[in-house]
Structure 1
Protein backbone atom coordinates (compact mmCIF):
# COMPACT_ATOMS: atom_id res chain seq x y z
CA UNK A 1 0.00 0.00 0.00
CA UNK A 2 2.92 2.34 0.75
CA UNK A 3 4.31 1.75 -2.72
CA UNK A 4 0.98 2.75 -4.25
CA UNK A 5 0.94 6.00 -2.27
CA UNK A 6 4.55 6.67 -3.20
CA UNK A 7 3.67 6.16 -6.86
CA UNK A 8 0.67 8.52 -6.61
CA UNK A 9 2.76 11.20 -4.88
CA UNK A 10 5.49 10.80 -7.51
CA UNK A 11 2.88 11.20 -10.24
CA UNK A 12 1.58 14.45 -8.72
CA UNK A 13 5.12 15.80 -8.27
CA UNK A 14 5.97 15.03 -11.91
CA UNK A 15 2.76 16.66 -13.20
CA UNK A 16 3.37 19.77 -11.06
CA UNK A 17 6.94 20.02 -12.36
CA UNK A 18 5.73 19.64 -15.96
CA UNK A 19 3.30 22.52 -15.45
CA UNK A 20 5.83 24.76 -13.69
CA UNK A 21 8.73 24.15 -16.08
CA UNK A 22 6.45 24.22 -19.11
CA UNK A 23 5.14 27.61 -17.97
CA UNK A 24 8.67 28.96 -17.55
CA UNK A 25 10.34 27.74 -20.74
CA UNK A 26 7.43 26.72 -22.97
CA UNK A 27 5.96 23.47 -24.22
CA UNK A 28 8.46 22.56 -26.95
CA UNK A 29 11.61 23.10 -24.85
CA UNK A 30 9.98 21.10 -22.03
CA UNK A 31 9.26 18.20 -24.37
CA UNK A 32 12.76 18.47 -25.83
CA UNK A 33 14.26 18.19 -22.31
CA UNK A 34 12.17 15.10 -21.62
CA UNK A 35 13.23 13.44 -24.89
CA UNK A 36 16.87 14.40 -24.29
CA UNK A 37 16.66 12.93 -20.79
CA UNK A 38 15.28 9.67 -22.19
CA UNK A 39 18.11 9.40 -24.71
CA UNK A 40 20.61 10.14 -21.94
CA UNK A 41 19.05 7.36 -19.87
CA UNK A 42 19.40 4.91 -22.75
CA UNK A 43 23.01 5.94 -23.23
CA UNK A 44 23.76 5.51 -19.52
CA UNK A 45 22.15 2.07 -19.42
CA UNK A 46 24.02 0.95 -22.50
CA UNK A 47 27.49 2.23 -21.62
CA UNK A 48 27.42 1.79 -17.87
CA UNK A 49 25.94 -1.69 -18.14
CA UNK A 50 28.85 -2.82 -20.30
CA UNK A 51 31.34 -1.06 -17.99
CA UNK A 52 29.77 -2.73 -14.95
CA UNK A 53 30.13 -6.15 -16.55
CA UNK A 54 33.80 -5.42 -17.27
CA UNK A 55 34.44 -4.30 -13.68
CA UNK A 56 32.65 -7.37 -12.35
CA UNK A 57 34.67 -9.73 -14.55
CA UNK A 58 37.95 -8.06 -13.51
CA UNK A 59 36.96 -8.36 -9.87
CA UNK A 60 36.19 -12.05 -10.27
CA UNK A 61 39.41 -12.69 -12.20
CA UNK A 62 41.40 -11.00 -9.44
CA UNK A 63 39.50 -13.11 -6.88
CA UNK A 64 38.19 -9.90 -5.33
CA UNK A 65 34.89 -9.05 -3.76
CA UNK A 66 32.30 -8.64 -6.56
CA UNK A 67 29.77 -6.81 -4.38
CA UNK A 68 31.07 -3.28 -5.04
CA UNK A 69 31.07 -3.58 -8.86
CA UNK A 70 27.66 -5.24 -8.74
CA UNK A 71 26.21 -2.52 -6.49
CA UNK A 72 27.74 0.28 -8.57
CA UNK A 73 26.42 -1.35 -11.76
CA UNK A 74 22.96 -1.70 -10.24
CA UNK A 75 23.00 1.96 -9.21
CA UNK A 76 24.09 3.06 -12.67
CA UNK A 77 21.37 0.97 -14.31
CA UNK A 78 18.79 2.38 -11.88
CA UNK A 79 20.02 5.89 -12.66
CA UNK A 80 19.68 5.17 -16.38
CA UNK A 81 16.14 3.88 -15.92
CA UNK A 82 15.22 6.95 -13.88
CA UNK A 83 16.63 9.20 -16.58
CA UNK A 84 14.70 7.24 -19.20
CA UNK A 85 11.37 7.71 -17.41
CA UNK A 86 9.57 10.85 -18.56
CA UNK A 87 9.70 13.37 -15.77
CA UNK A 88 11.90 16.00 -14.22
CA UNK A 89 11.96 14.67 -10.67
CA UNK A 90 12.95 11.13 -11.71
CA UNK A 91 15.58 12.57 -14.07
CA UNK A 92 16.97 14.67 -11.23
CA UNK A 93 17.15 11.59 -8.97
CA UNK A 94 18.82 9.64 -11.79
CA UNK A 95 21.45 12.35 -12.23
CA UNK A 96 22.09 12.38 -8.47
CA UNK A 97 22.52 8.62 -8.50
CA UNK A 98 25.29 8.93 -11.10
CA UNK A 99 27.53 10.97 -8.74
CA UNK A 100 30.28 8.62 -7.45
CA UNK A 101 30.56 10.08 -3.89
CA UNK A 102 26.80 9.73 -3.48
CA UNK A 103 27.01 6.15 -4.79
CA UNK A 104 29.72 5.41 -2.21
CA UNK A 105 27.58 6.89 0.56
CA UNK A 106 24.56 4.82 -0.50
CA UNK A 107 26.67 1.66 -0.74
CA UNK A 108 28.03 2.22 2.78
CA UNK A 109 24.49 2.76 4.09
CA UNK A 110 23.21 -0.37 2.37
CA UNK A 111 26.23 -2.42 3.47
CA UNK A 112 25.56 -1.46 7.08
CA UNK A 113 22.10 -3.02 6.81
CA UNK A 114 23.27 -6.28 5.18
CA UNK A 115 24.27 -9.18 7.38
CA UNK A 116 26.04 -12.18 5.84
CA UNK A 117 25.43 -15.25 7.97
CA UNK A 118 27.30 -17.87 5.97
CA UNK A 119 28.80 -18.49 2.62
CA UNK A 120 30.02 -21.57 0.81
CA UNK A 121 29.16 -24.38 -1.51
CA UNK A 122 27.53 -27.63 -0.57
CA UNK A 123 24.41 -28.65 1.23
CA UNK A 124 23.30 -28.35 4.80
CA UNK A 125 23.66 -31.47 6.90
CA UNK A 126 20.93 -30.49 9.34
CA UNK A 127 18.52 -28.85 6.89
CA UNK A 128 17.54 -25.26 6.20
CA UNK A 129 18.71 -22.75 8.73
CA UNK A 130 21.57 -24.93 9.96
CA UNK A 131 24.93 -23.34 10.62
CA UNK A 132 27.03 -26.22 9.33
CA UNK A 133 27.52 -26.69 5.61
CA UNK A 134 29.44 -29.74 4.46
CA UNK A 135 30.29 -30.56 0.85
CA UNK A 136 29.17 -33.90 -0.56
CA UNK A 137 31.95 -36.47 -0.77
CA UNK A 138 32.63 -40.17 -0.86
CA UNK A 139 29.80 -42.63 -0.52
CA UNK A 140 27.15 -39.89 -0.62
CA UNK A 141 27.87 -39.54 -4.33
CA UNK A 142 27.77 -43.32 -4.86
CA UNK A 143 24.01 -43.78 -4.80
CA UNK A 144 23.88 -45.83 -8.01
CA UNK A 145 22.59 -43.01 -10.20
CA UNK A 146 24.69 -41.77 -13.08
CA UNK A 147 23.79 -38.38 -14.54
CA UNK A 148 24.53 -38.16 -18.23
CA UNK A 149 23.56 -36.31 -21.36
CA UNK A 150 23.03 -37.93 -24.71
CA UNK A 151 22.16 -36.96 -28.24
CA UNK A 152 20.35 -39.05 -30.80
CA UNK A 153 22.26 -39.34 -34.06
CA UNK A 154 21.38 -41.10 -37.28
CA UNK A 155 22.94 -44.47 -38.01
CA UNK A 156 26.07 -44.37 -40.13
CA UNK A 157 25.35 -44.65 -43.86
CA UNK A 158 26.32 -47.87 -45.65
CA UNK A 159 28.67 -48.08 -48.64
CA UNK A 160 25.96 -46.91 -51.04
CA UNK A 161 25.47 -43.71 -49.02
CA UNK A 162 22.05 -44.77 -47.74
CA UNK A 163 21.00 -45.04 -44.15
CA UNK A 164 20.33 -48.64 -43.00
CA UNK A 165 16.76 -47.64 -42.20
CA UNK A 166 16.17 -46.18 -45.69
CA UNK A 167 16.32 -49.47 -47.56
CA UNK A 168 14.39 -51.41 -44.91
CA UNK A 169 11.48 -48.95 -44.86
CA UNK A 170 10.96 -49.59 -41.15
CA UNK A 171 11.28 -47.10 -38.36
CA UNK A 172 14.30 -47.33 -36.06
CA UNK A 173 14.21 -50.07 -33.46
CA UNK A 174 13.09 -49.15 -29.92
CA UNK A 175 13.89 -51.11 -26.83
CA UNK A 176 17.14 -52.38 -25.37
CA UNK A 177 19.63 -49.66 -26.21
CA UNK A 178 22.48 -51.05 -24.16
CA UNK A 179 22.34 -48.07 -21.81
CA UNK A 180 19.80 -49.58 -19.45
CA UNK A 181 19.46 -52.90 -17.69
CA UNK A 182 16.49 -55.05 -18.69
Structure 2
Protein backbone atom coordinates (compact mmCIF):
# COMPACT_ATOMS: atom_id res chain seq x y z
CA UNK A 1 0.00 0.00 0.00
CA UNK A 2 2.86 2.33 0.84
CA UNK A 3 4.46 1.89 -2.59
CA UNK A 4 1.11 2.45 -4.28
CA UNK A 5 0.76 5.82 -2.56
CA UNK A 6 4.37 6.77 -3.38
CA UNK A 7 3.77 5.76 -7.01
CA UNK A 8 0.63 7.90 -7.20
CA UNK A 9 2.40 10.86 -5.60
CA UNK A 10 5.14 10.61 -8.25
CA UNK A 11 3.02 9.62 -11.26
CA UNK A 12 0.16 12.13 -10.99
CA UNK A 13 2.33 15.28 -11.18
CA UNK A 14 4.28 13.78 -14.09
CA UNK A 15 1.04 13.11 -15.99
CA UNK A 16 -0.25 16.60 -15.16
CA UNK A 17 2.97 18.26 -16.33
CA UNK A 18 2.88 16.25 -19.55
CA UNK A 19 -0.74 17.30 -20.10
CA UNK A 20 -0.03 20.97 -19.38
CA UNK A 21 3.00 21.01 -21.69
CA UNK A 22 1.07 19.25 -24.46
CA UNK A 23 -1.95 21.56 -24.22
CA UNK A 24 0.38 24.55 -23.93
CA UNK A 25 2.09 23.58 -27.17
CA UNK A 26 -1.31 23.30 -28.91
CA UNK A 27 -3.02 26.47 -27.72
CA UNK A 28 -0.17 28.49 -26.24
CA UNK A 29 0.95 29.22 -22.69
CA UNK A 30 -1.39 32.11 -21.85
CA UNK A 31 -4.63 30.31 -22.85
CA UNK A 32 -3.40 27.21 -20.99
CA UNK A 33 -2.87 29.22 -17.80
CA UNK A 34 -6.30 30.85 -18.21
CA UNK A 35 -7.88 27.43 -18.75
CA UNK A 36 -6.27 26.02 -15.59
CA UNK A 37 -7.44 29.05 -13.58
CA UNK A 38 -10.95 28.84 -15.08
CA UNK A 39 -11.33 25.14 -14.26
CA UNK A 40 -10.20 25.86 -10.69
CA UNK A 41 -12.68 28.69 -10.22
CA UNK A 42 -15.59 26.88 -11.89
CA UNK A 43 -14.74 23.69 -10.03
CA UNK A 44 -14.60 25.48 -6.70
CA UNK A 45 -17.98 27.08 -7.36
CA UNK A 46 -19.58 23.78 -8.41
CA UNK A 47 -18.11 21.91 -5.45
CA UNK A 48 -19.36 24.58 -3.05
CA UNK A 49 -22.86 24.57 -4.58
CA UNK A 50 -23.16 20.78 -4.64
CA UNK A 51 -21.66 20.52 -1.16
CA UNK A 52 -24.21 22.94 0.29
CA UNK A 53 -27.07 21.08 -1.44
CA UNK A 54 -25.78 17.79 -0.04
CA UNK A 55 -25.43 19.30 3.43
CA UNK A 56 -29.02 20.56 3.32
CA UNK A 57 -30.26 17.15 2.17
CA UNK A 58 -28.36 15.43 5.00
CA UNK A 59 -29.89 17.83 7.55
CA UNK A 60 -33.38 17.16 6.19
CA UNK A 61 -32.80 13.41 6.35
CA UNK A 62 -31.50 13.63 9.93
CA UNK A 63 -34.45 15.81 10.93
CA UNK A 64 -36.79 13.15 9.52
CA UNK A 65 -35.02 10.39 11.44
CA UNK A 66 -33.45 8.87 8.31
CA UNK A 67 -29.89 7.64 8.02
CA UNK A 68 -28.07 9.84 5.43
CA UNK A 69 -25.57 7.15 4.35
CA UNK A 70 -25.93 7.80 0.61
CA UNK A 71 -25.82 11.53 1.18
CA UNK A 72 -22.62 11.20 3.21
CA UNK A 73 -21.05 9.28 0.33
CA UNK A 74 -22.18 12.12 -1.94
CA UNK A 75 -20.44 14.56 0.38
CA UNK A 76 -17.22 12.54 0.37
CA UNK A 77 -17.27 12.40 -3.45
CA UNK A 78 -17.90 16.16 -3.67
CA UNK A 79 -15.06 16.88 -1.22
CA UNK A 80 -12.65 14.67 -3.18
CA UNK A 81 -13.86 16.19 -6.45
CA UNK A 82 -13.34 19.71 -5.11
CA UNK A 83 -9.79 18.86 -4.09
CA UNK A 84 -9.10 17.40 -7.54
CA UNK A 85 -10.59 20.48 -9.22
CA UNK A 86 -8.45 22.87 -7.20
CA UNK A 87 -5.31 20.92 -8.13
CA UNK A 88 -3.77 22.44 -11.27
CA UNK A 89 -3.93 20.13 -14.24
CA UNK A 90 -6.37 18.69 -16.72
CA UNK A 91 -6.47 15.02 -15.71
CA UNK A 92 -7.23 15.77 -12.07
CA UNK A 93 -9.86 18.25 -13.29
CA UNK A 94 -11.52 15.48 -15.28
CA UNK A 95 -11.69 13.27 -12.19
CA UNK A 96 -12.91 16.23 -10.14
CA UNK A 97 -15.74 17.07 -12.55
CA UNK A 98 -16.79 13.40 -12.61
CA UNK A 99 -17.06 13.44 -8.81
CA UNK A 100 -18.83 16.80 -8.58
CA UNK A 101 -21.53 16.53 -11.27
CA UNK A 102 -24.55 14.64 -9.90
CA UNK A 103 -25.04 12.31 -12.89
CA UNK A 104 -21.46 11.14 -13.18
CA UNK A 105 -21.10 11.11 -9.38
CA UNK A 106 -23.83 8.46 -9.29
CA UNK A 107 -21.70 6.16 -11.45
CA UNK A 108 -18.64 6.84 -9.28
CA UNK A 109 -20.66 6.13 -6.13
CA UNK A 110 -21.78 2.81 -7.59
CA UNK A 111 -18.15 1.82 -8.20
CA UNK A 112 -17.15 2.95 -4.70
CA UNK A 113 -20.01 0.98 -3.13
CA UNK A 114 -19.05 -2.16 -5.08
CA UNK A 115 -15.40 -1.76 -4.07
CA UNK A 116 -16.30 -1.24 -0.38
CA UNK A 117 -18.72 -4.17 -0.44
CA UNK A 118 -16.03 -6.40 -1.95
CA UNK A 119 -13.50 -5.30 0.69
CA UNK A 120 -15.95 -5.90 3.55
CA UNK A 121 -16.99 -9.35 2.26
CA UNK A 122 -13.38 -10.46 1.76
CA UNK A 123 -12.42 -9.32 5.27
CA UNK A 124 -9.91 -6.70 4.12
CA UNK A 125 -11.93 -3.88 5.66
CA UNK A 126 -11.94 -3.66 9.44
CA UNK A 127 -13.38 -1.31 12.00
CA UNK A 128 -11.21 -0.08 14.84
CA UNK A 129 -12.66 0.81 18.19
CA UNK A 130 -11.12 2.47 21.18
CA UNK A 131 -11.23 0.24 24.19
Q: Give the alignment's TM-score, normalised by structure 2.
A: 0.78
Structure 1 Cα separation of the partners of residues 96 and 33 of structure 2? 18
Aligned CA-pair RMSD: 2.0
Determine the structure 2 residue equivalent to 1:22: 24
Of stretches 38-47 and 2-11 in structure 1, the one that deviates more from structure 2 is 38-47
Structure with higher RCO (Cα < 8 A, 6+ apart) = 2
- 4+ runs of 1 displaced by more than 2 Å? 98-115
Determine the structure 2 residue equivalent to 1:90: 92
Structure 2 Cα separation of the partners of residues 35 and 88 of structure 1? 11
Determine the structure 1 residue equivalent to 2:44: 42
Aligned residues: 117
- The DSSP-based 3-state class of the residue aligned with 2:25 is helix
Contact map agreement 1:37 1:83 (CA 8 A) in 2: yes
Q: Which runs of 5+ in 1 are unaligned?
A: 116-127, 129-182
Name the larger-Rg structure: 1
The Cα offsets for residues 64-103 of structure 1, whole Å up to 9 and x where unpaired, read as 2211111112211211211111111101111122343432
Determine the structure 2 residue equivalent to 1:60: 62
Q: Which runs of 5+ in 2 are unaligned?
A: 121-130
Give the C-alpha shift of residue 49 in structure 1: 2.0
- The DSSP-based 3-state class of the residue aligned with 2:37 is helix
Describe how 1:105-124 pairs up with structure 2 within 5 A: 105-112=107-114, 113-114=116-117, 115=120
